[in-house]
Structures are given as C-alpha cells and as structure tokens.
Amino acid sequence: MSTPELEKYRLPEARPFDNHGRTVAGWTWAIGVCIAALVIGFGLVFSTILIWIGVALIAVITAVSLALRAAGKGQPNRLTHTAKRGAWYNE
C-alpha cells in the first residue's frame, strides 16, 4: 500500500473581514425589511394600502442602508492596507 500524496493548499492573499456581514448597514436593512414584511402581511389581511406602504418601506430602508454603507458603516469593498500582503499568517 502506498502513502497518499498530500494536497497543497493555496491560502488567500489577505484575511477575510472579521464582521461576517454584521454591520450597522446590514442590521438596519435586515430589521427594516422584516418590519416591512410584517406591514405587507397585515396588508394582505386588512387593507391593500398597507401592502404599498410595506413596499415603500423596503425602498426607503434600502436607500438608508446604502447611505450607511457609503458613510462607512457597512462592509468595505476592498481589504485595508493592514490586511494585505498576507501578513496575517506565518508560512
């Protein structure tokens, strides 16, 4: 029986973000959409106008979340200079 060949793994260039998407912009959007879905659900039972209010809430909360992301409260698009060059692990 022969010894199996070990696989070589390729490490990423930089460490991924630590927040796992748990940002102010992300939480704002998630909670806002849940509230809007609740309003839409009430609209299905009580009044059609509540459905449109819920849809409008989704549009508003999406705009607010994008504004928060633009203000730096969301997930960054690129890795920062401290995370580059693979300095987070030792070979």
Range of the domain at 65: 24-73
Q: Domain for residue 85, yes or no?
A: no
**Whether the predicted pLDDT of 58 surpasses 70:** yes
Q: Domain for residue 57, yes or no?
A: yes
Q: Which residue has the higher pLDDT, 58 or 7?
A: 58
**How many CB atoms within 10 Å of residue 61?**
19
- Rg (alpha carbons) of the chain, rounded to whole number: 22
Q: d(Cα 81, Cα 20) in Å, to the nearest integer?
A: 19
Question: Rounded mean pLDDT of 35-46?
Answer: 96
Q: Do residues 73 and 25 lie in contact, with contact meaning Cβ atoms separated by under 8 Å?
A: yes
Domain count for the chain, please give it: 1
**Whether the predicted pLDDT of 11 surpasses 80:** no
User: What's the pLDDT at 4?
Assistant: 75
User: What's the pLDDT at 18?
Assistant: 66
Taking the model in full, what pTM does it have? 0.66
